[in-house]
Amino acid sequence: MYSPGNQMPPFRRPSLKGPLILVLLIFLGIGGVVFYAFQRVSDAIDQALPAGLEATVVAVSSAGIDSIQPVDALVRLVSGEARWIADVNGDERAEILGEGYVGTVYSILVLDGATGALIWSAPTADPTIKLGYFGDLVLTAREREVRAYAPADGAFLWAATLPDKVQIYPFRAYAIDDAVVVQSADNALTSINRQTGAQNWQVTLRERNAQDFQRLTDLLCDREQPENTETIYCYDLKTGAPVRSYPLGAGPFDRAVWWADDQPQNPGLYRLLESQEQPTFERVSAADGAVQWSQPLPEVFNRSSAADFTLVSGDGLLALGTADQVAVISMGGPPVIVQQNERELYAIGFDGPILYLAAIKQRGTPTLTFQAIDASSGAVLNTSPEVGNSSSSLDPDVPRWAILPGQGLLVGSQSLDDDDTIVLQLFAADGTVRWTYSKSMFIGSLPTIHLDGNRVLFSTSDFTTVLDARTGTVLWEIEH
């Protein structure tokens, strides 16, 4: 029976404060031990760093350079981002621009092309940047901001803001006179003064999702579809004004693919008109839009998008490839057709009268071989041994091979026997392998290669190597 005298006190949960404090103290103790052990390992690594990597690090803020101080640093480039730039230290050899880590700080950086030593680095706020090089400028792009640095010493020059996020896949920026023009995700073009970072002009393109950009001398052109009529519109990179348009000539049930031919003396467009009757490949004058020559092609060249094609040129010849065929066209003459059953053909480039092709096996494992083709007859002169899986080899924005004039074709790949081993080889036009360089990685990935004269820059996530492209001799290497 309830009465004030026998009322029970209200229920209270037992306090966990004491046990929680005890657990926290235990974790703090363990954390201190782990941190001490980590610090000892870190100190040991620092003491073991290779000689020659002492660097001048340029610390950058939004206001410019805060400090310059020499440090000992471990340099780790990000795979695929390193590329050759002009000589900045006066030794008459190209340097290497990249992004990655200097110690634990993510930075853009320049390495001495002769030795691999760090020349300068500029810390960035976030690794999700895109890098561009324009002779007198190094650009980084992130979110809505573009920042400029001096290639000689990494000095911060200016920052500019775009109307939308930077279009970084791919990052599109075009240098002209004293300006650089950058595309943003809303398909606006913004012209920025290269010396001051001030905006010159800004224009929004007609097409919301325009992606098919190509440069034609001082023009930037893209394909748009007003009223379902495919047309190439070209904008003046100096003013942003729309100045020319080229109807692609496709009918209501046809499609067209186009490429800019940026020849200074005779600029023009190539277009492939795909129809139910017969595809036709043409060259159009940039001056007046007149068709200069036209060639019919086999029905297999009726494809759905530009991504299905490769087009390369050299010494008055063109090679247009798709599926299992490549057409070699002598600027208007009858095409020479190269066809191979059960192999997809990818045109790489010309070395005089020789055309190099990548041939991807379509049955079983899609391994890759490389072929030297007589451009005048289409005959296969020689075929390389097979190299690793080709699933990521054909990305046009990531260089996996390069032609060394008069020597052969440099190819970067993964080993057939071990995906964690990367391989660089020079395939000669006679089918022989002149030299092979290989190295094991922690986790295998396809390497990128960039050629500078007779030096090749060979980059992965685990190391950066510069070799003599003629002999395969390692000139220097940094393990990341």
Q: Which two tokens stand for residue 366?
A: 């899609």
273: phi then psi, degrees, rounded to nearest 5: -90, 120
pLDDT band for position 210 (50/70/90)? low
373-381 average pLDDT score: 94
Q: Who contacts 336 (Cβ-Cβ below 8 Å, separation ≥6)?
A: 327, 328, 329, 375, 376, 377, 378
Task: Decide: helix, strand or coil at residue 33.
Answer: helix
Highest mean pLDDT among 125-129, 257-261, 438-442: 257-261
- Report the candidate in 86, 165, 89, 167 with the shortest Cα–Cα distance to residue 133: 86
Q: What is the DSSP string of 399-434?
A: --EEEETTTEEEEEEE-SS-TTEEEEEEE-TTS-EE
Answer yes or no: is pLDDT of 214 > 50.
yes
405: cis peptide before it, omega within 30°? Answer: no
Read off the DSSP letter of residue 168: B
Answer yes or no: is pLDDT of 328 > 50.
yes
Answer yes or no: is pLDDT of 22 > 90.
no
Buried b (16+ CB within 10 A) or exposed e, 232-270: bbbbbbbebeeebebebbbeeebbbbbbbbeeeeebbbb
Buried b (16+ CB within 10 A) or exposed e, 150-160: bbbbbbbbbeb
pLDDT (0 to 100) of residue 334: 83
All domains of the chain in start order, with CATH:
51-158 (no CATH), 223-305 (no CATH), 309-383 (2.40.10), 395-480 (2.40.10.480)
- What would the pLDDT profile of 164-202 be if each residue is shown by its tens digit? 988 766 788 999 999 999 988 888 899 999 999 999 999
Task: Decide: helix, strand or coil at residue 308.
Answer: helix
Q: Which residue carries 């080229």 as its tokens?
A: 246
**Rounded-to-integer distance, Cα 390 and Cα 394, Å:** 7
> Do 250 and 272 form a contact (C-beta atoms < 8 A)?
no
Average pLDDT value over all residues in the chain: 79
Higher pLDDT, 379 or 104: 379
> Do 310 and 346 form a contact (C-beta atoms < 8 A)?
yes
pLDDT (0 to 100) of residue 185: 84
303-311 average pLDDT score: 79
How much is the pTM? Answer: 0.79
Answer yes or no: is pLDDT of 35 > 60.
no
pLDDT band for position 362 (50/70/90)? confident
Answer yes or no: is pLDDT of 44 > 50.
no
**Rounded-to-integer distance, Cα 107 and Cα 130, Å:** 12
pLDDT (0 to 100) of residue 301: 86
pLDDT (0 to 100) of residue 278: 83
pLDDT band for position 97 (50/70/90)? very high
Listed range (49-53, 194-198, 274-278) with the worst mean pLDDT? 49-53
Answer yes or no: is pLDDT of 262 > 60.
yes
